[in-house]
Amino acid sequence: MNKQFAVIGLGRFGGSVAKTLHDMGYEVLAIDRDPQRVQDFSQIVTHAVEADSTDENALKALGVRNFDVVVVSIGEDIQSSIMTTLILQEIGVEKVVVKARNDLHGKVLYKIGAYKVVYPERDMGVRVVHNLISPNILDYIELADDYSIIEVNAGEFFAGKTLEELDIRAKFGCNVMAIKSADRINIAPLAGDRIHRGDILVVIGHNNDLKKLEERA
Protein backbone atom coordinates (compact mmCIF):
# COMPACT_ATOMS: atom_id res chain seq x y z
CA MET A 1 0.00 0.00 0.00
CA ASN A 2 1.09 3.58 -0.68
CA LYS A 3 2.10 5.63 2.31
CA GLN A 4 -0.41 8.16 3.54
CA PHE A 5 0.73 11.66 4.48
CA ALA A 6 -0.84 14.49 6.44
CA VAL A 7 0.52 18.02 6.09
CA ILE A 8 -0.33 20.59 8.73
CA GLY A 9 0.21 24.18 7.65
CA LEU A 10 -0.22 25.16 4.00
CA GLY A 11 2.24 27.99 3.69
CA ARG A 12 4.91 28.06 1.00
CA PHE A 13 6.83 25.05 2.35
CA GLY A 14 3.90 22.95 3.54
CA GLY A 15 1.92 23.67 0.39
CA SER A 16 4.85 22.62 -1.78
CA VAL A 17 5.28 19.39 0.20
CA ALA A 18 1.57 18.56 -0.01
CA LYS A 19 1.36 19.22 -3.76
CA THR A 20 4.55 17.30 -4.55
CA LEU A 21 3.47 14.26 -2.54
CA HIS A 22 0.08 14.24 -4.26
CA ASP A 23 1.67 14.65 -7.69
CA MET A 24 3.79 11.58 -6.89
CA GLY A 25 0.63 9.56 -6.32
CA TYR A 26 0.36 9.57 -2.52
CA GLU A 27 -2.78 10.17 -0.50
CA VAL A 28 -2.44 13.55 1.23
CA LEU A 29 -4.57 15.13 3.94
CA ALA A 30 -3.88 18.87 4.09
CA ILE A 31 -4.80 20.77 7.26
CA ASP A 32 -4.79 24.51 7.90
CA ARG A 33 -6.74 26.92 10.08
CA ASP A 34 -7.04 29.42 7.20
CA PRO A 35 -10.22 28.66 5.19
CA GLN A 36 -8.85 30.37 2.06
CA ARG A 37 -5.74 28.16 2.02
CA VAL A 38 -7.92 25.09 2.53
CA GLN A 39 -10.10 26.17 -0.40
CA ASP A 40 -7.02 26.75 -2.56
CA PHE A 41 -5.78 23.19 -1.93
CA SER A 42 -9.13 21.43 -2.13
CA GLN A 43 -8.48 20.54 -5.79
CA ILE A 44 -4.75 19.90 -5.36
CA VAL A 45 -4.59 17.18 -2.65
CA THR A 46 -6.75 14.21 -1.70
CA HIS A 47 -8.47 15.99 1.19
CA ALA A 48 -8.12 19.55 2.52
CA VAL A 49 -9.60 20.37 5.91
CA GLU A 50 -9.92 23.51 8.02
CA ALA A 51 -8.86 22.69 11.58
CA ASP A 52 -6.84 23.95 14.55
CA SER A 53 -3.89 21.60 14.94
CA THR A 54 -3.48 22.55 18.62
CA ASP A 55 -6.92 21.00 19.28
CA GLU A 56 -6.28 17.37 20.19
CA ASN A 57 -9.91 16.37 19.64
CA ALA A 58 -9.88 17.85 16.14
CA LEU A 59 -6.79 15.84 15.17
CA LYS A 60 -8.28 12.67 16.62
CA ALA A 61 -11.53 13.24 14.71
CA LEU A 62 -9.56 13.55 11.47
CA GLY A 63 -7.86 10.22 12.12
CA VAL A 64 -4.41 11.75 11.87
CA ARG A 65 -2.87 8.97 13.97
CA ASN A 66 -3.53 6.54 11.12
CA PHE A 67 -1.22 8.36 8.70
CA ASP A 68 2.28 7.03 8.09
CA VAL A 69 3.93 10.45 8.23
CA VAL A 70 2.68 13.82 9.45
CA VAL A 71 4.51 16.95 8.32
CA VAL A 72 4.13 19.98 10.58
CA SER A 73 4.84 23.15 8.64
CA ILE A 74 3.56 25.93 10.87
CA GLY A 75 5.38 29.14 10.00
CA GLU A 76 5.84 31.95 12.50
CA ASP A 77 3.93 30.47 15.46
CA ILE A 78 6.57 28.44 17.30
CA GLN A 79 4.23 27.72 20.21
CA SER A 80 1.63 26.16 17.89
CA SER A 81 4.36 24.17 16.17
CA ILE A 82 5.53 22.72 19.49
CA MET A 83 2.00 22.11 20.76
CA THR A 84 1.00 20.36 17.54
CA THR A 85 4.08 18.14 17.62
CA LEU A 86 3.43 17.21 21.24
CA ILE A 87 -0.21 16.33 20.54
CA LEU A 88 0.75 14.20 17.55
CA GLN A 89 3.18 12.28 19.73
CA GLU A 90 0.58 11.75 22.43
CA ILE A 91 -2.07 10.43 20.03
CA GLY A 92 0.39 7.91 18.60
CA VAL A 93 1.69 9.24 15.28
CA GLU A 94 4.93 7.33 14.62
CA LYS A 95 6.71 9.72 12.26
CA VAL A 96 6.34 13.45 12.79
CA VAL A 97 8.48 15.65 10.53
CA VAL A 98 8.57 19.27 11.64
CA LYS A 99 9.74 22.52 10.06
CA ALA A 100 11.85 24.55 12.49
CA ARG A 101 12.66 28.25 12.40
CA ASN A 102 16.02 27.98 14.17
CA ASP A 103 18.34 25.59 16.05
CA LEU A 104 16.71 26.21 19.45
CA HIS A 105 13.28 25.48 18.03
CA GLY A 106 14.69 22.32 16.46
CA LYS A 107 16.24 21.14 19.73
CA VAL A 108 12.90 21.52 21.52
CA LEU A 109 11.12 19.59 18.76
CA TYR A 110 13.59 16.70 19.02
CA LYS A 111 13.23 16.72 22.83
CA ILE A 112 9.47 16.22 22.58
CA GLY A 113 9.81 13.38 20.11
CA ALA A 114 9.90 14.72 16.55
CA TYR A 115 11.09 12.02 14.15
CA LYS A 116 12.88 14.54 11.93
CA VAL A 117 13.37 18.31 11.97
CA VAL A 118 13.94 20.25 8.75
CA TYR A 119 15.21 23.78 8.23
CA PRO A 120 14.06 24.77 4.71
CA GLU A 121 15.05 28.44 4.90
CA ARG A 122 18.51 27.68 6.31
CA ASP A 123 19.11 24.84 3.86
CA MET A 124 18.05 26.96 0.90
CA GLY A 125 20.39 29.71 2.11
CA VAL A 126 23.28 27.24 2.22
CA ARG A 127 22.51 26.07 -1.33
CA VAL A 128 22.36 29.62 -2.63
CA VAL A 129 25.70 30.48 -1.03
CA HIS A 130 27.41 27.46 -2.61
CA ASN A 131 25.96 28.41 -5.99
CA LEU A 132 27.23 31.96 -5.54
CA ILE A 133 30.73 30.69 -4.73
CA SER A 134 30.74 28.54 -7.85
CA PRO A 135 27.93 28.75 -10.46
CA ASN A 136 28.79 25.16 -11.45
CA ILE A 137 27.52 23.88 -8.07
CA LEU A 138 23.93 22.88 -8.88
CA ASP A 139 22.90 21.39 -5.56
CA TYR A 140 24.24 20.89 -2.04
CA ILE A 141 22.92 18.34 0.47
CA GLU A 142 24.23 18.22 4.04
CA LEU A 143 24.57 14.62 5.29
CA ALA A 144 26.08 15.40 8.69
CA ASP A 145 27.86 18.29 10.40
CA ASP A 146 31.04 17.76 8.37
CA TYR A 147 30.00 15.75 5.30
CA SER A 148 27.87 16.65 2.30
CA ILE A 149 26.95 15.72 -1.26
CA ILE A 150 27.21 18.21 -4.12
CA GLU A 151 26.13 18.15 -7.75
CA VAL A 152 28.77 19.75 -9.99
CA ASN A 153 28.24 20.83 -13.57
CA ALA A 154 31.23 19.63 -15.58
CA GLY A 155 32.94 22.76 -16.86
CA GLU A 156 36.39 23.34 -18.29
CA PHE A 157 38.23 21.72 -15.37
CA PHE A 158 36.43 18.37 -15.86
CA ALA A 159 35.56 18.29 -19.56
CA GLY A 160 37.38 15.76 -21.72
CA LYS A 161 39.16 14.03 -18.82
CA THR A 162 38.64 10.58 -17.35
CA LEU A 163 38.08 10.07 -13.63
CA GLU A 164 41.56 8.56 -13.48
CA GLU A 165 43.06 11.67 -15.04
CA LEU A 166 41.13 13.96 -12.72
CA ASP A 167 42.11 11.84 -9.68
CA ILE A 168 39.60 13.70 -7.52
CA ARG A 169 40.05 11.34 -4.57
CA ALA A 170 43.80 11.97 -4.33
CA LYS A 171 43.69 15.69 -5.13
CA PHE A 172 40.62 16.69 -3.14
CA GLY A 173 39.76 13.76 -0.85
CA CYS A 174 36.29 13.39 -2.41
CA ASN A 175 34.53 10.52 -4.16
CA VAL A 176 32.48 10.69 -7.37
CA MET A 177 29.34 8.64 -6.70
CA ALA A 178 27.61 9.07 -10.04
CA ILE A 179 27.78 10.83 -13.40
CA LYS A 180 24.60 12.15 -15.00
CA SER A 181 24.58 12.87 -18.72
CA ALA A 182 21.77 13.99 -21.00
CA ASP A 183 20.30 10.53 -21.55
CA ARG A 184 21.52 8.35 -18.67
CA ILE A 185 22.98 8.16 -15.19
CA ASN A 186 26.06 6.11 -14.36
CA ILE A 187 25.78 5.06 -10.70
CA ALA A 188 29.02 3.07 -10.67
CA PRO A 189 31.56 5.17 -12.58
CA LEU A 190 34.90 3.56 -13.43
CA ALA A 191 38.34 5.14 -13.57
CA GLY A 192 38.30 5.12 -17.37
CA ASP A 193 34.94 6.88 -17.72
CA ARG A 194 35.36 10.19 -19.55
CA ILE A 195 33.59 13.37 -18.44
CA HIS A 196 31.95 15.53 -21.09
CA ARG A 197 31.08 19.21 -20.82
CA GLY A 198 27.59 19.54 -19.36
CA ASP A 199 27.71 16.24 -17.47
CA ILE A 200 26.74 16.43 -13.80
CA LEU A 201 28.99 14.81 -11.19
CA VAL A 202 27.51 13.69 -7.87
CA VAL A 203 30.34 14.02 -5.33
CA ILE A 204 30.52 13.13 -1.62
CA GLY A 205 33.15 14.27 0.84
CA HIS A 206 34.20 16.27 3.88
CA ASN A 207 33.00 19.86 3.67
CA ASN A 208 36.56 21.23 3.69
CA ASP A 209 37.51 18.96 0.78
CA LEU A 210 34.35 19.81 -1.14
CA LYS A 211 35.13 23.50 -0.69
CA LYS A 212 38.49 22.99 -2.44
CA LEU A 213 36.73 21.20 -5.29
CA GLU A 214 34.11 23.94 -5.56
CA GLU A 215 36.83 26.55 -5.92
CA ARG A 216 38.30 24.64 -8.87
CA ALA A 217 34.94 23.85 -10.45
pLDDT digits (tens, 9 = 90+) for 126-174: 767 766 666 777 787 878 778 999 898 898 889 999 999 999 999 999 9
Spatial contact of 204 and 175, defined as CB atoms under 8 Å apart: yes
Query: Which domains are delineated in the chain?
Result: 4-118 (3.40.50.720), 123-216 (3.30.70.1450)
Spatial contact of 152 and 136, defined as CB atoms under 8 Å apart: yes
Closest CA to 69 of 36, 27, 107, 109: 27
pLDDT digits (tens, 9 = 90+) for 91-139: 999 999 999 988 899 999 999 999 999 888 877 777 677 666 667 777 8
In DSSP terms, which residues pair with 150 in a beta bridge?
Answer: 140, 203
Query: What is the Cα–Cα distance from 40 to 15, expressed in whole angstroms?
Result: 10
- The pTM (predicted TM-score) of the whole model is 0.68
Query: What is the Cα–Cα distance from 31 to 9, expressed in whole angstroms?
Result: 6
